Amino acid sequence: MNPLQKQLSWWLWLATLSFGVVAGWVVYEVRWFYPDLQRHFGPVGDPQVGRQIITRSREYLQNGLNILASEPLNNEQFDDAFFQFELAYSFLNVGLYRERYDCTETSLNQLDQLLNTLTNADATDLASVVRAVNPIVQCATSIEQHQWELRQTRALHMAERLDQSQRWFLTVTGVAYSMGVLFLVFYEYQRRRTNHSLKSQLSWMEKALEDALTGAQNRRAFDQDLQRHFERFQKGDPSFSLLMCDLDYFKAFNDHYGHTRGDEALQQVVETITQTLRPGDQVYRYGGEELAILLPNTRQLQARPIADRAIAAVRNLGISNPTSPQESLTISAGLATSAHTDTEGADVLNRADNLLYQVKARGKNDVIDESQSEERPDKSNPT
């Protein structure tokens, strides 16, 4: 073999080697690495991404409680509640959870006892069911939180792997033959798409549904829950009620004491209101000093005492507010209940918001329900 042939053979071997390296890398990325990312994070924008088995178990527990809280409770609803608890048991009874989380066995035993108790519908006491289910829900919630933390850790690990993969791949393809360049184009396309998918998914995971300041659920969670309750109401579930609350003279309170003290007061108010609510009720920070409270399966007559209790609890905190006629921090609230004339959840929200402005115009520190509704006042009134 003459020198030219040797040179050609060398370049052919080098081209083949470059092709093999790039092809082998791409096969690895497409066949194993990218599917692994998809298994962890799923399609971008899918609301079911990260929906764990333990999450479903907790939801079935809460669904069962909500059904049992319905009034009047018929046999079909009772059977549905029993079925929800059975589903919760099935999703909690996972080997991984039983091995890693001590509370799982206890919760399964408690749930099994509850199911045995529920076989006698006449002897079922809602309060005892709630007491029995609460520790199980707490266990499921702790497992769910830990699983999400593990998921985030794996996400960071995947991001590191992707970053290392990029650097090594670009180094190899930088010295590769022309065939390697062609595969680099393919890899860059795949890399950018996956990188975008990963960043989008991580961003979605980081958008928690909890307000960082107060610990209440945030506006995004409220919008989702309001729509979910309204859709269930349209399908035949009992009415739900909505309280829109606003701290009275809070801007003046902030101006007088400063925003740090205002944040502390807002935290106290949210904590106090939460303590007055029933299991299943939820408080949200709607925006600024405005709060929303969703009361599932609750008609107006049932919701009014809850609203009065929340108003009184905040007033009894005795947080000094020299800018208020009451000389203490208070809240006002508008109470609306879903109706069959509503076409969307926003209709309930608008009525509650209207009632809130009415009570602010009347003098604040009170709650108005739809039986007391008047024409909507001017929103320009000071709060």
List, by residue range, all CATH 3.30.70.270 domains of the chain: 219-372
| CATH architecture observed for domain 219-372 | 2-Layer Sandwich (3.30)
Range 367-377 burial, b when 16+ CB lie within 10 A, else e: bbbbeeeeeee
Range in 136-140, 271-275, 305-309 the model is least confident about: 136-140
Question: Distance between CA 155 and CA 161 in Å, rounded?
Answer: 10
Note the pTM of the prediction, 2 decimals: 0.47
Q: Is the pLDDT of residue 3 over 50?
A: no
Rounded average pLDDT over 321-338 = 94
The span from the CA of 363 to the CA of 67, in Å, is: 38
Cis peptide before 377 (omega within 30 of 0): no
pLDDT mean over 279-291: 94
Q: Is a pLDDT exceeding 50 seen at residue 244?
A: yes
Q: How confident is the model at residue 380 (pLDDT cuts 50, 70, 90)?
A: very low
DSSP per position, 166-195 = HHHHHHHHHTS-HHHHHHHHHHHHHHHHHH
Which DSSP letter does residue 261 get?
H
- pLDDT tens digits for range 59-92: 888 888 888 777 777 778 888 888 888 888 888 8
How high does pLDDT run on average in the chain?
80
